[in-house]
Structure 1
């Protein structure tokens, strides 16, 4: 692109003036960002084209990763790092009087996701490209993405997120590759030459327009594609009100996760899901036909992966294409579909295993419903052959039952591979949640523990720690992150540990400045930064954390002999707009913060901060500054977690339950380098199955619990009246479904252990080092290598050079 900063400066200035029609002196930061972004995108376009060509020539098997979410964050610096030109660009801009950080701040996060599911998809794309694997993403180009969160008087307020307000330099609109996606209408069935023919007629069409984004690998020429579909009105005539049709059409790609508490919202969400899979699969098939013609060997060249249940309609859509368009028999089509589709399950929560009422599904997707119904009939017949007379088992396993279509069941039946995302999660799926299916299809089930891309979450987020690591053990770990284990050799090196301490101190100072700028709260950078950032959900137990903070505050107020190391508790979380209970917890956190932060009598021992609008770019400032990582979900509920890995990689110590990937983190760092508390998964599942837990007993027998629970409703918080009655009732009247009170005493004790451990700074730094050293296993490169070898059967391809 440019070999030195002088060449970069000349190119940049020339492009800026040509593009913006103004002199450099007149240009704005946005002009500068747009110019730099366009330069980078155009530069990678040559490799982008060559990547497609090398895959075509080599006839590589390719994987397409279908996900309703891709939580990309900002791409400017990430792409510069992967292209290895960040230093040249940074120095060149500096000589022009521009700080790269300021240009980067112009870029709005592409908030096309809600949490771990979408961020995992983004990390996977990075790893696929960096490992030279032919893998691409397919998603929806939401106009607004996830909402922008504001905190007003302690309450969450949602505003439309505007990531596309100024356009998006990384995308290329490809209107010539648009797809027409049909909804409603009816299916006409006829017989031609002894074959049943199905025609979807009188359908209402929506045009899916692809916007392609390059996915740049690290130090490689591979550039894969993320294709995002935009919903636009079809040019074909329709017999209805044009303006209403236009509004309904554009709503399909307007918001991520529309409210589905009513039929209108359910229809919209189902439309989104079929829109994604129909456009994606028909696009894949169109490209495939151009190269190979017949689809008979489709599964040998194409792998389609569905990220959770949202894209499960990929199964009947591929069947539809193979039967209706390719005119294959049912058995031929099923063989191809089964061997093409693989499925990742991300949850054991019943609420997240989608079910659609037939009364909504059938009229909206008439041909797809016919195919799902046929899959169900054939599956139930197979079950009858396996378990003759066992109607209860067949009813429980059926894809369609009680007037509902069970999407997880469709995924399990129509995929050749079903994986969980942590060892514990996979075992729970096999032995409990999906036990019946595991007994029928044991060969399908496998585990792929999640990972994160260390290029974003260490190299980009924590450059000073990255430099320290490279100085100590060289650069090979960047390509083979398991080599971070070499850091163990520095466990007794006081100079190295002191450098780690100074880097953490600097990162805490940077976050403290951001906290002050954003909230006005001044925090003590020598205090323990104890952080819980993740989606707000009852099972993640932000409630346990804030009740413990109330307990610490009570002790500071009542017991003059109580001495604790100063601690700053930092939260970041969005609650789903319709999730009333989660919003009450946000209000509680902010109410506690207001009381604690304004009480001079506790001598600054305790501060509570809620950072609004948690997102990828904010997370990049948070993880490097953390001392303590809160991973305190009710055991058995968190499928894996990836925040735990990001904290660990940046040297934070985990306070956690034996849940999700916490278990595998513990196995690698050792019991002495992690803080584990609370019920185990089998104990939680035993309570759910057999009962025996009574939260009221813990309330009566532990005065610490009684005090904090009573404070929710007894006027302790002035001016909030019955604000927290729902939380009080959930703990006592509704028997505390997520065992907050059951784990409370254990949580208090482990937090005392944290307090004690932090006072021995040498020991703490050694523990921190061990977490960094063992974090390489949790790179998404390892995860993707396992997917590639064990599920998708794809291989890296050598660099392609045109003759």
Structure 2
């Protein structure tokens, strides 16, 4: 009887009639607007509140269940980025009410698609690290695991990218200007976070020497919760983001004296911590602010985790690692290790040995880079000023660890120096990766190759001490966002053909293989791709006023702009084709549209120069009538999650061309393959595993292997200038870049690109990322792409097999592996 009643109530709440009524109620009562004067934002806001009501119902029940289950083990995912994108469609799909809402909006003469466009992308991340974290939260909820995400609620995202005269211009990304209907402020869970001050010793009543952190500058960390709903399972977990506020936002005494600026100074200093994602750290105050951000969110998060634990288990800290596991998403949250030690030793008064045992059984660390220069380090003098007590704790952790390491390494000074948390030098530094390894029970890489490089190279000496700690967890993506949501056309024909089980079990896509020779299905598959290309073409024409041909090959490289990702290699190949077309405008090539999207870090000069080169080449190529529109070059500004959802389903070719051994994994490569694009890539990161899954004949692999790159560099025999002299094509390309062909008004603009490739610049190696070494192999594979695409049947079959065979790259599979192998958490 009760079950039947609940089913009726659920049906009523998701009925078209109820949705329309709720929508109008929120518009009228929550926003104070009537239908006739409501703006597009008002309509989006009302719809978001309607959806949020249904999410929060599930959220409250889920959290109640977690508290009622005494043996529950919670996983806490600490990440400085969560690139969650827009939430409206995502929540509609996961609640499985998208069709009813669409019908309800249509009845009100509204377009759900138009309303959804009003939602800004949440400015909480920069790239792969944050997007991965968002996928993981989706999978944790969908698998029904008790999980929480912790991060920072940035007022401004990384920046809004505008292209002016071909150059990147950074503008504020004020994503919160109209508020955020999805979040719930939790003032009652506000905590204090300390900075500066000094460490003071004292004797407790038992005569033990203890420490307290005094004379600190304190800020408030105010939590904002966003429920993360699982797909079709009534589970809603929590993403808790911290916002920094002053202890006293307004100094009335200073205001009374006429010191108006001084009266608000404290609030300005405190709120700067959560003001902007990743401040520019090219100067001292920028580095101090970034370290403040890292400590701010881990301190607030740990206080919250311990509060929740004590509510259930009191001071039974022996249970802490049995009931909690904390995953560090890269080294940005590594300060959680000394912070947990500080809380356990200084505030809970546990003996050091017991506190350390709890700590190393609680933390697990995911590494995301193999490049030594990208491993995070902080100056000791910065720690001494900002976090004096933590520096003492780090010295103690390191001293105890090195005592053990000396025995293991038989006094080998080089190995001991390599594993120390502190790096000696002109400026003594704290090595956050070393801290993360010493303080964690698990260290994982994010692809098979990446993990092997960690074990054999980057952390070789740590692997010698603790081989059992190291493991691989190949990254994944959520198919709910990256197929069901972003590619409804493809999702529809998959559902009609094999059913919808793939939405929660991506391996089910293997059933598509039997249609690889079915001409009727391949025609539908091709039609979906063409419709997606038409949609992207319309966007490009509307936003950039450039017409592109949807019948051309859409060759796409969208990702963060970094030299190792080799957007420059792609540009060199475009110049090569352009030069051949100038020699012979009747050259038989299949029309191709090269599409880029990338942000460069504000202080990364070479990356910004490459963006300018892409745009300069585009300006010349797109306006040259001689080449008869056979190639077009498009740079789409302000690349973000929402743009990715339009671009990725439209791609024919996916450029995954980083220098072998440099990309930890990549997840863009997985998204493109899942949406039926063929990869041209190096044997790097997860490309290797994608190749194993889709088959050699369905991917275009080129270039040196990681081992070959390493050997060539070690031999010091690599001389890019010799290649330049011998290879006429490369010489012509580089001369065109160097001799102002693409920038006649500023002849010296690209000389540093030429210099960096042939001779090195600012102490770097010549052609550090091996572009010239890989160029011929790259252009050869592109010729094969050109020829293969002409046979539509062959191309579509290969594309379909990519979709069918990449089920292993679901973040559901990744999270299952984390849950079983590392976290030991179970579905509740």
TM bracket, shorter-chain basis: over 0.9
- Matched-pair contact (CA < 8 Å) for 1:111–1:615: no
> Which residue in the other structure is 1:23 paired with?
34
- Matched-pair contact (CA < 8 Å) for 2:670–2:806: yes
Distance (whole Å) between structure 1 residues aligned to residue 514 and residue 123 of structure 2:
40
* Larger deviation, residues 741-750 vs 16-25: 16-25
> Which residue in the other structure is 2:68 paired with?
57
- Matched-pair contact (CA < 8 Å) for 1:71–1:122: yes
Alpha-carbon distance, 1:50 to partner: 1.1
Q: Does 1:206 align with 2:198?
A: no
> Which residue in the other structure is 1:298 paired with?
320
SS in 1 for 2:772: coil
Alpha-carbon distance, 1:58 to partner: 1.3
Distance (whole Å) between structure 2 residues aligned to residue 657 and residue 22 of structure 1:
55
> 1:499 pairs with 524, 537, 542, which one?
524
Q: Does 1:752 align with 2:777?
A: no
> Which residue in the other structure is 1:223 paired with?
236
SS in 2 for 1:464: helix
Change (3 A) 1:202 1:670: same
Distance (whole Å) between structure 1 residues aligned to residue 249 and residue 726 of structure 2:
70
- Matched-pair contact (CA < 8 Å) for 2:124–2:277: yes
- Matched-pair contact (CA < 8 Å) for 2:83–2:123: yes
Distance (whole Å) between structure 2 residues aligned to residue 176 and residue 456 of structure 1:
33
Q: Does 1:287 align with 2:287?
A: no
Alpha-carbon distance, 1:242 to partner: 5.0
Distance (whole Å) between structure 2 residues aligned to residue 560 and residue 594 of structure 1:
18
TM-score (structure 1 length as normaliser): 0.98
Matches within 5 A, 1:753-772: 753-772=784-803
- Matched-pair contact (CA < 8 Å) for 1:205–1:236: no
Alpha-carbon distance, 1:181 to partner: 0.4
- Matched-pair contact (CA < 8 Å) for 1:48–1:214: yes
> Which residue in the other structure is 1:369 paired with?
391
- Matched-pair contact (CA < 8 Å) for 2:582–2:627: yes
> Which residue in the other structure is 2:93 paired with?
81
- Matched-pair contact (CA < 8 Å) for 2:372–2:458: no
- Matched-pair contact (CA < 8 Å) for 1:149–1:613: yes
Distance (whole Å) between structure 1 residues aligned to residue 533 and residue 414 of structure 2:
57
Alpha-carbon distance, 1:246 to partner: 2.1
- Matched-pair contact (CA < 8 Å) for 1:418–1:445: yes
Distance (whole Å) between structure 2 residues aligned to residue 575 and residue 325 of structure 1:
43
Matches within 5 A, 1:615-764: 615-717=640-742, 718-734=744-760, 735-764=766-795
Tell me, which stretches of 5 or more residues in structure 1 are unaligned? Answer: 798-803
Distance (whole Å) between structure 2 residues aligned to residue 519 and residue 3 of structure 1:
40
Listed one character per residue, the Cα deviations across residues 44-66 of structure 1 (whole Å, up to 9, x for unaligned) are 21211111111111131000100
Distance (whole Å) between structure 2 residues aligned to residue 561 and residue 188 of structure 1:
80
Q: Does 1:309 align with 2:309?
A: no
> Which residue in the other structure is 1:800 paired with?
none
SS in 2 for 1:161: coil
Matches within 5 A, 1:788-799: 788-797=819-828
Q: Does 1:787 align with 2:818?
A: yes
> Which residue in the other structure is 1:513 paired with?
538
Number of aligned residues? 797
Distance (whole Å) between structure 2 residues aligned to residue 296 and residue 236 of structure 1:
39
> Which residue in the other structure is 1:325 paired with?
347
Listed one character per residue, the Cα deviations across residues 351-399 of structure 1 (whole Å, up to 9, x for unaligned) are 3211111111112101111111101101111111112331121112110
> Which residue in the other structure is 1:567 paired with?
592
Alpha-carbon distance, 1:561 to partner: 5.6
**Runs ≥4 in structure 1, deviation > 6 angstroms?**
236-240
- Matched-pair contact (CA < 8 Å) for 2:663–2:684: yes
> 1:100 pairs with 112, 117, 120, which one?
112
- Matched-pair contact (CA < 8 Å) for 1:216–1:222: yes
Distance (whole Å) between structure 2 residues aligned to residue 220 and residue 646 of structure 1:
24
Alpha-carbon distance, 1:23 to partner: 2.0
- Matched-pair contact (CA < 8 Å) for 2:298–2:335: yes
Distance (whole Å) between structure 2 residues aligned to residue 57 and residue 39 of structure 1:
28
* Larger deviation, residues 385-394 vs 291-300: 385-394
Alpha-carbon distance, 1:236 to partner: 9.7
Q: Does 1:577 align with 2:608?
A: no
Alpha-carbon distance, 1:237 to partner: 11
- Matched-pair contact (CA < 8 Å) for 1:172–1:213: yes
> Which residue in the other structure is 1:337 paired with?
359
Distance (whole Å) between structure 2 residues aligned to residue 400 and residue 612 of structure 1:
41
SS in 2 for 1:71: coil
SS in 2 for 1:212: strand
> Which residue in the other structure is 1:48 paired with?
59
Distance (whole Å) between structure 2 residues aligned to residue 654 and residue 577 of structure 1:
29
> Which residue in the other structure is 1:8 paired with?
19
Distance (whole Å) between structure 1 residues aligned to residue 284 and residue 167 of structure 2:
28
- Matched-pair contact (CA < 8 Å) for 2:250–2:263: no
> Which residue in the other structure is 1:177 paired with?
189
* Larger deviation, residues 258-267 vs 531-540: 258-267
- Matched-pair contact (CA < 8 Å) for 2:199–2:214: yes
Alpha-carbon distance, 1:421 to partner: 0.2
Listed one character per residue, the Cα deviations across residues 192-233 of structure 1 (whole Å, up to 9, x for unaligned) are 212122111100001000000000110011100000000100
TM-score (structure 2 length as normaliser): 0.95
Alpha-carbon distance, 1:721 to partner: 1.3
Distance (whole Å) between structure 2 residues aligned to residue 263 and residue 714 of structure 1:
38
Distance (whole Å) between structure 1 residues aligned to residue 606 and residue 31 of structure 2:
49
Listed one character per residue, the Cα deviations across residues 685-712 of structure 1 (whole Å, up to 9, x for unaligned) are 1123332111001101100000000111
Distance (whole Å) between structure 2 residues aligned to residue 496 and residue 237 of structure 1:
66
> Which residue in the other structure is 2:257 paired with?
none
SS in 2 for 1:742: helix
Listed one character per residue, the Cα deviations across residues 13-56 of structure 1 (whole Å, up to 9, x for unaligned) are 23312223232122111111111111211222121111111111
Alpha-carbon distance, 1:560 to partner: 4.8
> 1:360 pairs with 379, 382, 395, which one?
382
Tell me, which stretches of 5 or more residues in structure 2 are unaligned? Answer: 1-9, 255-261, 761-765
> 1:595 pairs with 612, 620, 629, which one?
620
Listed one character per residue, the Cα deviations across residues 736-756 of structure 1 (whole Å, up to 9, x for unaligned) are 000011101011100001001
Q: Superposition RMSD on alpha carbons, in Å?
A: 1.3
Matches within 5 A, 1:209-288: 209-235=222-248, 242-288=263-309
> Which residue in the other structure is 1:801 paired with?
none
> Which residue in the other structure is 1:35 paired with?
46
SS in 1 for 2:365: strand
> 2:151 pairs with 114, 130, 139, which one?
139
Change (3 A) 1:236 1:570: closer
> Which residue in the other structure is 1:482 paired with?
507
Change (3 A) 1:225 1:153: same
